[in-house]
Amino acid sequence: MKNSRRDFIRRASTTGAAILAAPAVFGSSAASRQQKAADAVTPFKLKYAPGLGMFRQNAGQDLVDNIKFCHDQGFPAVFDNGLMRRTPEDQDKIVNELKRLGMDIGPYVLMADSGKQDFVLNSQEIRDSLIARMKEGVEVSKRTGAKQALVVPGRYDMKLHMDYQTANVIDNLRFCCDIMEPEGITIVLEPLNHYINHPGLFLTGIPQAYAICRAVNRPSCKILNDIYHQQISEGNLIPNIEAAWNEIGAFHLGDSPGRNEPTTGEINYKNIFKYLYKKNYDRTLCMEHGISNRGTKEGELRVIQAYRECDSFEV
């Protein structure tokens, strides 16, 4: 599929290539513009996945046009956190266009209520609610082909020892896996930072998520490693990825500080991408971040160029 996508991109994308060569973004040199246009139609080394709507200033509001635009820039995948909330008609539009272009889709949000206690509790009512939600996710996955569902295990309970809460999370995840695993769907657990964005959540770090996945001991329970959150929570990014490698199922991207595109903060994404490439990582890298020059065509194009720069590592 990589070869066919490469051939397609080389034949197509004249509009996208011309846009990416804009002097406002890349400078006025004709040779520089021509080089950037050539780069724009070269397939990326990894499966970077823009969020649907990330490039609406250039692609417009239509879902299909946004997917086409991402494809024309060389992106092999997209992701849509809100996929579950879309109408069945829009879900069908998305999946049909992705199939036509041979693109993949990253994890969608199944459960991420950061204001609620759920997984940390040992309650039949909670368990029934979780199972019902998993069944809803199964229907979305069947319709869209998305095989990874993002779960944030909610808030911790200040009145209950953390070890009991951890045991409850493990038990509840096993019940959820009983629903998802037969359908070929993987739950990906996302730790979120508690210093800036999400104080009070149960799951905050990669080592903690790793221990939980090992205890659940199911192939349908993995980690979603959000590089932005983990730079804030613990740093030491590549060693932590290496230590948890067997339990990582997907990645979210974003620079820190600011949570915008790579090259705008302190994270060396070129080195991270090189590491992932050498590990033969072939799943999605969801571009779950803002745009430093938001609301402008130039800002969106700068996002694309930032990924070109970080993807230019030598192999």
On whether the CB atoms of residues 252 and 193 are closer than 8 A, the answer is no
pLDDT score of 48: 98
- Please provide the size of the chain in residues: 315
Cα 191 from Cα 257, distance rounded (Å) = 17
pLDDT score of 34: 45
CB atoms within 10 A of CB 139: 12
Burial code (b: 16+ CB inside 10 Å, e: under 16) for 226-238 equals: bbbbbbbbbeebe
- pLDDT tens, 189-213? 999 999 999 999 999 999 999 999 9
- pLDDT tens, 34-58? 445 445 568 999 999 999 999 999 9
11 pLDDT more than 80: no
Cα 238 from Cα 120, distance rounded (Å) = 29
Cα 87 from Cα 78, distance rounded (Å) = 18
On whether the CB atoms of residues 133 and 125 are closer than 8 A, the answer is no
pLDDT score of 114: 77
Q: Which domains does the chain have, with CATH numbers?
A: 46-310 (3.20.20.150)
236: left (phi over 0), alpha (psi -120 to 50) or beta: left
Mean pLDDT over residues 243-258, rounded?
Answer: 98
69 pLDDT more than 80: yes
Mean pLDDT over residues 111-127, rounded?
Answer: 93
Task: Give me the torsion for CA of 291, 295, 297, 302, rounded to 10°.
Answer: -10
Two structure tokens written together for 65: 């046009």
Nearest by Cα to 213 from 205, 204, 222: 222
Percentage with pLDDT > 70 across the chain: 87
- pLDDT tens, 132-172? 999 999 999 999 999 999 999 999 999 999 999 999 999 99
- Residue-averaged pLDDT of the chain: 90
pLDDT score of 78: 98
pLDDT score of 79: 98
